[in-house]
Structure 1
């Protein structure tokens, strides 16, 4: 849970580097919370089927869009890639490239984006 909260504390920090653990723990907690909110929306009757989502899950998604983008960019920095690589998700199969970058180990030592967060 500390990894998730640390991402939220640095919600608009786009510089620096993020470890794999920080990135994937945020993704895990974000997925679990989203699934729980979708279920609550359904149980409480808050789903707007014309829009495709409920009030709680929609507000949560809006709240974590900037922290999610920031941790994704910091993760790309950790593997010595520019944050602009996040835009590859807009093309078909670009998410696969981002998934691979998210799985890669950190670049050892310092790089142009800062010191290695493992050290």
Structure 2
């Protein structure tokens, strides 16, 4: 999955907390978020707040789908609220996808480039 496909997919599933998201889908979307947050921060604090609000639900949904892809519940995202313990989330997010279907569905199908 490329950058544009990942951003389109995550925004089209912005409140879909079911299913699975591949590593590339999640990390391309995180990159889009970080770049836009940095750029908007230089523009104006109101623009920055709007970007943060626009990405809030899609980022939570993509994170939950990414955790589903490795066989974990989306509730594990709450670890991010605990300082330092939330680093466990980083470990989870970089894990490879489970190749077999799990309780959250079939593995994401790679899209042709």
Q: Which consecutive unaligned segments of at least 5 residues does structure 1 have?
A: 42-53
Q: Given the alignment, which residue of 77, 87, 95 partners 1:86?
A: 77
- The alignment's C-alpha RMSD in Å is 1.0
Please list every run of 5 or more consecutive structure 2 residues that lacks an aligned counterpart in the other structure. none
Larger radius of gyration: 1
1:47 aligns with none
Which residue matches 2:95?
104
Residue 14 (structure 2) pairs with residue 11 (structure 1): yes
Q: Distance in 1 between matches of 2:31 and 2:86?
A: 17
Alignment partner, residue 67 of structure 2:
76
In the alignment of these two chains, the number of paired residues is 107
Q: Give TM-score, length-normalised by structure 1.
A: 0.86
CA deviation vs aligned residue, 1:19-53 (integer Å, no higher than 9, x gap): 00000000001100111111111xxxxxxxxxxxx
Over 4 Å off, 4+ runs: none
